[in-house]
């Protein structure tokens, strides 16, 4: 696994694409998103989290392992009553494969951090009422 500074640079450069209303919008770390603000308003939430179950600890897994982890994440969110939008994390340089992800609507930060930790992720993107996604480290890497 890369060191934290390298990972931070990769996460900050990534394109976090969200599918909504038949189109896609892109989130960037620490950048206001008018589309995210509209999405929050349309769904009646004040926060969201961008999370993936793929490639725990930034270690590439097989397609089968990633698919199984994603299915577990979906089952958990459904059980807990959350709504979500399909998303993906993209490396604009193409050095890391796209990761199937979700934008979970209305998930408070403490629950989002637990979720990311339970799926062995290094970090998640948290967005509050200001519609600015912020990188939140949840591991000790």
Whether residue 141 is predicted with pLDDT greater than 50 in this model: the reply is no
* Domain positions in the chain: 4-137
Q: How far is CA 8 from CA 24, 58, 68, 119, 125, in A?
A: 24, 12, 26, 19, 12
Beta bridge partner(s), residue 90 = 15
CB-CB contact of 83 with 103 (8 Å): no
* Residue 108: predicted pLDDT: 96
The residue-averaged pLDDT of 96-102 equals: 93
What is the pLDDT at residue 1?
Answer: 61
3-state secondary structure of 6: helix
Measured CA to CA in angstroms, residue 82 lies from 15, 24, 56, 103, 104 at distances of 23, 21, 22, 10, 7
For the stretch 3-59, pLDDT in tens is: 888 889 999 999 999 999 999 999 999 999 999 999 999 999 999 999 999 999 989
Q: What is the pLDDT of residues 107-118, one digit of tens each?
A: 999 999 999 999
pLDDT given at position 87: 98
Report percent pLDDT > 70 for the chain: 97
Supply φ then ψ for residue 115, to 5 degrees. -60, -50
């Amino acid at each position: 696994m890369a060191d934290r500074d390298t990972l931070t640079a990769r996460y900050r450069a990534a394109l976090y694409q969200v599918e909504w209303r038949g189109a896609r919008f892109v989130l960037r770390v620490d950048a206001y998103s008018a589309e995210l603000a509209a999405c929050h308003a349309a769904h009646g939430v004040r926060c969201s989290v961008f999370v993936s179950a793929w490639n725990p600890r930034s270690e590439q897994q097989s397609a089968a392992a990633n698919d199984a982890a994603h299915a577990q994440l979906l089952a958990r969110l459904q059980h807990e009553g959350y709504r979500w939008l399909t998303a993906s994390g993209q490396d604009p340089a193409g050095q890391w494969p796209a990761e199937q992800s979700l934008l979970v609507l209305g998930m408070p930060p403490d629950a989002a951090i637990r979720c990311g930790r339970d799926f062995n992720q290094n970090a998640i993107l948290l967005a509050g009422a200001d519609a600015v996604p912020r990188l939140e480290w949840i591991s000790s890497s």
